[in-house]
Structure 1
Amino acid sequence: MKLGWDLRVSLDRYLTSWKREDDPSLGDFTYGFELEGLPQKFLRKYNSKVIQRSGPWEGTRFSGLGMSSLSTIRPSFVQTPDEVYYTYNVSNKSTITRTVLSHTGSLQRCLWSDQNLEWSVTYSIPNDACDEYGKCGPNAICTINSPRICSCLTGYIPKSPLDWSALGWSEGCVKKNPSSCPGKEGFRKLKGVKVPDMLQFWINTSMSLKECRDKCLSNCSCSAYSVTDIEGRGSGCLIWYGDLIDMRQLNEFSSNQNVFIRVTASDLGDDIELPMLNFVAIAKATDNFSYLNKIGEGGFGPVYRGQLPNGKEIAVKRLSENSRQGSDEFKNEALFIARLQHRNLVKLLGCCIDGEERMLIYEYMPNGSLNSYIFDTLLTANSLVWRRRFDIIVGVARGLLYLHRDSRLRIIHRDLKASNVLLDSEMNPKISDFGMARAVGGDQMLEKTMRVVGTYGYMSPENAIDGIFSTKSDVFSFGVLVLEIISGRKNRAFRHPDHNFNLLGHPWKLWLEGKAFELIDEKMEDSFAVSEVMRCIQIGLLCVQRHPEDRPSMASVILMLDSQSAMLPQPKQLGFFDERNHEDVDYSLSNEMTITQIEGR
């Protein structure tokens, strides 16, 4: 069987339905190839109204059709200067199959049963609600396994919010913000989708993907672009103008079709193409978000361990309905971490936006969070020797320095704590959770907010009391973390029988009494450089001083950690060192002190 065109004689081979079940005269429905743009198969009624569209060929099938029918047939697509057609062979020579276009407009794959002596329908088109042409209207995408199958593309909102909320999707979506063209705009990558119908388009089969992107960006009417050679080298250029119609998220991992949707800078943030993973793929990777794969829970929601088909392990943060964070924090974290590359920052692999679902997909950290290692008695005793603790302190410091000084954006994390430091397979620390982070430009390193965020016990006084935050707020949190790592005790849970000081006040008291070594975790091994630990205690105390201007920058902290001979200033008054009684006790020393002697404990 051939379905398609013989271009030499302008012969179009297509299917036509019967008029009725018992009337073989020409019916209302046709199914055949159309050659505008990339060749596609269309199911039409009255030769005009589109019922279903196949999408272009992507190597093993037409991109908009499912894999179900491939168990009995091996389809192929031929495109030459003389012919453009579709055909197939059966997978098993004993199989008897046929394709029927019914009088009701259903294209059916039928299989003959020798046992029952009858035909059975194994696959039909339309197969589901998303097969319906333009189901979600313009500028929207259909995802069959989503609770609400239609969602607007990034940068678009429902044209009729009332109809949309009542599951009336036909009017589709319109741009949320006016175009900033020819200003700064970018593209959001949609992975594994059926491309929009080619109503207004431009095509060039020799362009590279970058040339295609530049071509689209230079024309303010361009809505999206993609490659034409889906099954080969990923080259060629297909550009859409105006509304984008009849897109759907594909369920199978094998789909190679990606579309780059044009969005304004305000919708995307500095032209980032963040990989988009579909909901079905993530559900499969996590065994449908199995409780057995749940590895944590935070303000964002639950975190699941998963594995992609290629064997790569991932961590999936899924925004919960009652999350303390929301879509703004989700977008904030996605855009920040996507722009950051450092060995001491967790790596974002992609995200998933599917209806109300919001997920971030990270590299999996097999050793979990630092929180469990320094506060869990069993893990601490077996794993965190001093050298490892010191390396973690240095790694976190380097990650913060990158955020504050060396990244393209100058970023204040605002929620640094032990549970937001993850450990890879070699126990290298990686800072995570950028939902509360803020970027500050140039010399603008001090800001005030009406919404105080952070974790009590790690927040600096000026942030907790006045809502003022700066890089020195992160330095304060880092100081708390250093003291926790050295002592193996949690600031907020610290209790001492002889006084009411917390974990900041306790080492401060010991420091003034010349007994700072008593802070060292008793579970650490017996042999280590006491002077190095004492130096880190002093650095921790310098970082948690009450006044921001007294705290060192992270660049100075790195210098202090790297050089045993550098002079360290003496700590001054600490902030929040007596949380329970709030006594204003003035402990102060003025001499500088440096420790260089290496001793055994």
Structure 2
Amino acid sequence: MDIPCFSILYFISICMFALEVCKSVDVLSSSETIRDGDTLVSAGEKFQLGFFSPGNSSYRFLAIWYHNIPEKTTVWVANGDNPVNDSSGVLRIGSEGKLVLVDQAERVLWSSNNMNATSQSVVAKLLDSGNLVLKDDSENVSGNYLWQSFDHPSNTLLVGMKLGWDLRMGLDRHMTSWKSAEDPSTGDFTFGVDLGGIIPQLVIRKGRVKYFRSGPWNGIQFGRMPMVPNLIFIPKFVNNSQEVYFTFNHFNESTITRLVLNASGNHQRYLWSEKTQEWTMIYMLPYDACDVYGKCGSNSMCTISNSPICSCMIGYQPKSQAEWDTLVWSSGCVSKNPFNCSKGEGFKRLKGVKMPDLLQFTMNTSMSLKECELECFKNCSCRAYANIDATGGGSGCLLWFGDLLDVRILSRSANQDLYIRVSASDLDSVNSKGKEWVAVAISMAFVVLSVVLYFCIVWKRKKHAQGITFDLQAEDENNLHLPIFDMVTILRATNNFCDSNKLGEGGFGPVYKAWKLWLKRKVPDFIDPQLQNSFDLSEVVKCIQVGLLCVQRHPDDRPNMSSVLLMLDSESASLPQPKQPGFYIERSSENTDVEMSRRDGNSNKITMTLLEGR
């Protein structure tokens, strides 16, 4: 039977449509376009690219956002400064192998800035990292991109993105804030790695003016930003001859976190909560008033726990006391005494501070800290010095000249110390104050100790007045918890050494009722009624049993000290039954018959016990 031609054409059309549907939606080829309403979705369905309008805006922007997060969260915008006025925007790969965004009038609103390439083999692909890449599809080399969005961040830094410099290409990857939450055009703030002072720092700028500074990289961390892995992300800083950048990775794959530079210039880290289905801000920089660049002016320190927060460094005074009295500190501080390299000048060590900004400085990577001090001392213009690198105990020399700016006390311990130049008179003042503080500290310690001793004595007297006390401190070298009985306890237990409690008397003193009660299995009767609920009975029995083993008649039957310690310390040790104690004396009811048991002496030594009738 003949098959009509239209049926064959229909079948071919269906197959082609199926192939089109099955084709990966994360790739844009040179023959395809993305119009408003179309999207690319990464292979793992983590990110999506398309057109969107922020807030109540009617403008359309080409952007990338999280695919599976209900709250649309944009992470990259292409045409922030040139929006599409309507829904006519089209993204395609142009004839020169570049991504091009045009409007209805074919006006180019945005394009990738890569080198020209043959457009037929160039494709654009959205990766699961959120990176939009342009690559030559004929080359099977991973990571060899003609262009990538990760090299051109907007206001968001994702996992794996690099914030900093590719020195080979002169590429500066920095974040740029939006103008507002509804306007993704270029805002007032940028955040990136500053190489102006050779030693890298992380800096937020408002225009060209510094707004926040992390402090210089010291080989371990930025002064204000510890590079410590945590349960959310793992920070990393790379500093070599080819690249200088900050990045971070997931602690685990299930964590979704991002960095944002908001319209107010705040650097914020967010964490997505699957439970609450919302973003939670973990931290923000600037964190407090002392984080604002140069808050207290030059030659001063900012301490957020103090009131007021600003104070002049040692040897300096406010440039305008009237301004400082009104809590306006921007004028900073000036030196009380001129530095002239005179005899007696020295340096004051400041611990736990953010290093001053690198405005006027020199550095030497081979000097020791002592050599650095001598170098600074020789130059009267040198105001401070420190190690460059904090790794391995510190190395290198960093010298500051002129004013010291943006120094703050860090809430977390820093791993670098700053040494500031101090005049002879100020150094004497520092030393005398140090001695005064030592004297005050000693006096306070004496007062506190006296008060503690007083209350201890009062407490002990109250306890003695109430009854028997026990001291269960460990006194032996193996730190075993052996009971120690004070004199009051012994007096009460023996009824002031009354004869009615006396069993006998030997070379080491009287032996009391323990043995008789042990034989009658009435050990609980030996315990004072006031203490019945104070101890575990089994522990008391063990202590009495060990004690009786130690006073057995024959020395060979007695355990040595190591065995005693083992018995007392072990819960599972099997204890032998004690034999009759040495010098055990028992009187008959008529007090006439006396039975005497004498401890056998070792070798020729004999212990004699004198008995007196009553």
TM-score by length of 1: 0.46
TM-score by length of 2: 0.45
